[in-house]
């Protein structure tokens, strides 16, 4: 590795993944969400670190430029963060409908929420120590956190979102200090609750990124490739125009990067015109199918995006997290992503490196 971060940040079309990768089967049961850990105590701590190391190694080996932790140390992208907060009772659960799509038993907010201690900062420092490449860390967005809870204390989604945003900002500042280059907030709720997003969702996101000098990203998608989501997608018709609601607001926001779902979706490509000027982290890998994309397919998606985004602002990525996929499939998809990016980079007159 020569030049490390500076080489990768200069590279045209730097590749990245949205967040999660499948965990090794010795760490957690594969191909399910909220999978229970197979280890405990010190063995679990060591196992998570070994899995994170492996995730970094596979991303590098397969040509991913902006490296993530693959979410190897967390059980779920929202729940694990909330577990570390005071004011939330995990024993006292209620069944709620997640993003209007599926029922889940969720914890209850019973008092003022606060962060007892840093949640992911040690893990991020561990990731930082593994690579000189730029690193990205994902946190849940305030509005998506609200949607995964029952609130008996604030009884106001807006107030609770503001509290979460303040907590996320504390965490993000510490992640930045630990050397994270890009801090990403996952807000799939922005594709569902449009009025709330407009009224307070974007403002809460702005609160979460306040004062950060690291690059900031927001990821908005149609969810993991699980049945509840694919069933929902089947009801959305032939053109998915949900981003039309969030993109104009994000274009005016201080967020640097917008991560969206594209490949094999029904999202009209021209919608990314609405975030002109922002970096576009484009999903060029489908996470809802086990079929591995060919490099040409990936390249084709990237070429179509380049009609609406400047090449130096395009970050080829996956549509969403890959946790529920078989491990080999997810890893082969990383190889396809970087091979596709390499084709387009060459067409634009940039060499493989």
Location of structure tokens 């990403």: 184
**CB 20, min distance to Zn ion, A:** 9
CA-to-CA distance for 173 and 216, rounded, in angstroms? 11
Q: Is there binding between residue 217 and Zn ion (CB under 5 A)?
A: no
If the CB atoms of residues 85 and 288 are measured against Zn ion, the closer one turns out to be: 288
Helix axes 295-305, 327-347, angle to 10 degrees: 50
Question: Which of the ranges 47-55, 199-207, 318-326, 332-340 carries the binding residues for Zn ion, by CB under 5 A?
Answer: 318-326
CA-to-CA distance for 162 and 156, rounded, in angstroms? 10
CA-to-CA distance for 143 and 189, rounded, in angstroms? 6
150-151 β-sheet, strand order:
85-98, 102-115, 150-151
If the CB atoms of residues 113 and 284 are measured against Zn ion, the closer one turns out to be: 284
CA-to-CA distance for 271 and 242, rounded, in angstroms? 10
| Closest of 322, 281, 329 to residue 71, by C-alpha | 322
CA-to-CA distance for 163 and 156, rounded, in angstroms? 11
Question: Which of the ranges 170-178, 200-208, 217-225, 303-311 carries the binding residues for Zn ion, by CB under 5 A?
Answer: 217-225
If the CB atoms of residues 72 and 319 are measured against Zn ion, the closer one turns out to be: 319
Convert residues 28-67 into a mask of x (bound to Zn ion by CB under 5 A) and - (unbound). Answer: ----------------------------------------
**CB 308, min distance to Zn ion, A:** 21
Question: Which of the ranges 9-17, 157-165, 198-206, 215-223 carries the binding residues for Zn ion, by CB under 5 A?
Answer: 215-223
Q: Are 208 and 142 in contact (CB under 8 A)?
A: yes
**CB 70, min distance to Zn ion, A:** 14
Q: Is there binding between residue 221 and Zn ion (CB under 5 A)?
A: yes
Two structure tokens written together for 110: 């019973």
Pick one of 320, 322, 331, 334: the residue that binds Zn ion (CB under 5 A). Answer: 320
**CB 221, min distance to Zn ion, A:** 3
**CB 121, min distance to Zn ion, A:** 23
**CB 219, min distance to Zn ion, A:** 6
The site for Zn ion, by CB under 5 A, has a size of: 2
Location of structure tokens 């995006």: 305
Residues that bind Zn ion (CB under 5 A): 221, 320
């Amino acid at each position: 590795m020569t030049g490390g971060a500076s080489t990768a940040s200069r590279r045209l079309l730097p590749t990245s993944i949205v967040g999660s990768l499948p965990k090794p089967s010795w760490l957690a049961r594969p191909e399910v969400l909220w999978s229970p850990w197979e280890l405990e105590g010190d063995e679990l701590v060591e196992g998570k670190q070994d899995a994170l190391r492996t995730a970094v190694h596979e991303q590098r080996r397969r040509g991913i430029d902006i490296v993530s932790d693959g979410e190897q140390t967390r059980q779920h992208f929202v729940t694990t963060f909330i577990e570390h907060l005071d004011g939330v009772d995990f024993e006292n659960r209620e069944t709620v409908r997640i993003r209007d799509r599926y029922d889940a038993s969720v914890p209850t907010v019973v008092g003022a929420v606060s962060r007892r201690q840093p949640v992911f900062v040690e893990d991020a420092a561990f990731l930082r120590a593994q690579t000189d490449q730029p690193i990205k860390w994902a946190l849940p967005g305030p509005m998506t956190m609200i949607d995964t809870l029952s609130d008996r204390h604030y009884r106001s989604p807006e107030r609770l979102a503001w509290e979460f945003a303040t907590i996320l900002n504390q965490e993000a500042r510490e992640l930045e200090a630990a050397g994270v280059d890009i801090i990403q907030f996952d807000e799939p709720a922005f594709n569902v609750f449009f009025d709330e997003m407009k009224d307070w969702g974007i403002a809460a996101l702005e609160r979460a990124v306040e004062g950060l000098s690291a690059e900031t990203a927001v990821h908005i998608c149609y969810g993991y490739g699980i049945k509840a989501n694919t069933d929902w997608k089947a009801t959305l018709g032939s053109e998915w125009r949900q981003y039309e609601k969030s993109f104009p607001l994000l274009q005016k926001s201080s967020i640097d990067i917008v991560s969206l779902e594209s490949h094999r979706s029904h999202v009209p490509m021209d919608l990314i015109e609405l975030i002109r000027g922002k970096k576009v982290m484009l999903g060029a890998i489908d996470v809802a199918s086990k079929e591995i994309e060919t490099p040409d397919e990936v390249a084709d998606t990237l070429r179509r995006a380049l009609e609406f985004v400047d090449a130096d602002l395009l970050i080829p990525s996956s549509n969403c997290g890959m946790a529920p996929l078989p491990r080999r499939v997810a890893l082969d998809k990383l190889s396809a992503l970087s091979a596709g990016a390499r084709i387009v980079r060459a067409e634009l007159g940039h060499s493989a490196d």
